[in-house]
Structure 1
């Protein structure tokens, strides 16, 4: 009986690993094609051929080209939340999100990450879908702030600060992508300073 269970677990593990490998291959080949040929020029059939899977298999993993492109930034809400969770709990809510975002801004982006961000910014259909990412950031950020402060999950102050921080994040990202060479850290600090002046 134990031997049968072990084989079952091994089989499940192998299937999960193959699914992960196929998912990663489709994503990697799609992004490569998008960056080389442009998002609109690439078809699902092009991606399937490059990833060496059938179109049907591709659609089992991703429902559209947009979904594939946006999946490259799927972990972004958690990255923001983790940065906030790493801040000292005795910081004010606003200082906590500002300092977390500055910590992230100081990390050099990978060349591929920067290229994907520019691709999304320059493609209207992707920009529209990218807004859902910010909604997810706002929800998770509010929860993380509440956890840091030992407050209820629906605390109004945490929700307000999270919404404000996401607005600044959007502005900083747009500024960074439209002003190559300028530091997102500087714009972020200016934006938070402007917020404090307006609130004061």
Structure 2
């Protein structure tokens, strides 16, 4: 990751990475099929972290609160300057930003399943799926806001986005959530 951050994703070669890791290029290919896989391996545990954070939420908590509070917890525990640098690298590198969408899709599926399990519902529960899809949209927006505003965390925007969503729901449903 240091090489990617210092020299840029495109300028860093697999030979550079192998040399820095003190392994052969062949050994590097044993573990990673591409430079993209190297970057995304640093975030491979994120879906499990999301599921674990949902699992720690009280069962009686409403779905939106459950997701918002889990995301705030994750931000408090895992947001750092290296995480911001990695997020910026992914955002600013077209080859990585495309692959990042696949990560979000996986997190969305894991989140919907975790919500359903926590609530004792079917894995295909529509409310859990809609909540997960919406929450991932908020997560994406929060990450973009965090990268644009260096003095804030993604949780700041996330809380505001969840509040805005509740306001929209309240206006359109006559106060039902």
Q: Does the TM-score normalized on the shorter chain lie above 0.5?
A: yes
Q: Would you say 1:65 and 2:28 are equivalent positions?
A: no
Inter-partner Cα distance in structure 2 for 1:183 and 1:135: 23
How far off is 1:142 after superposition? 0.6
Inter-partner Cα distance in structure 2 for 1:98 and 1:194: 12
- Where structure 1 has 5 or more consecutive residues not aligned to the other structure, the ranges are 1-30
Report what 2:124 is aligned to: 154
Inter-partner Cα distance in structure 1 for 2:150 and 2:14: 31
Inter-partner Cα distance in structure 1 for 2:60 and 2:18: 50
Report what 2:175 is aligned to: none
Write out aligned runs for 1:75-154 (5 A). Answer: 75-107=45-77, 109-154=79-124
1:41 is paired with a residue whose SS is coil
How far off is 1:79 after superposition? 1.2
Match of 1:185 among 150, 155, 163: 155
Contact conserved, 1:93 with 1:145, CA < 8 A, in 2?
Answer: yes
Inter-partner Cα distance in structure 2 for 1:109 and 1:151: 31
Tell me which structure has the larger Cα radius of gyration.
1
2:61 is paired with a residue whose SS is coil
Alpha carbons of 1:108 and 1:145: their partners in 2 closer, same or farther (altered >3 Å)? closer
Match of 2:24 among 47, 54, 63: 54
Contact conserved, 1:146 with 1:152, CA < 8 A, in 2?
Answer: yes
Q: Would you say 1:74 and 2:44 are equivalent positions?
A: yes
Match of 1:164 among 134, 137, 150: 134
1:131 is paired with a residue whose SS is helix
Q: TM-score, normalised by structure 2?
A: 0.91
In terms of fraction of residues, the more helix-rich structure is 1
Inter-partner Cα distance in structure 2 for 1:128 and 1:108: 23
1:40 is paired with a residue whose SS is coil
Report what 1:5 is aligned to: none
Q: TM-score, normalised by structure 1?
A: 0.81
Q: Show structure 1 runs of 4+ deviating over 3 A.
A: none
Paired residues in the alignment total 170
- Where structure 2 has 5 or more consecutive residues not aligned to the other structure, the ranges are 171-177
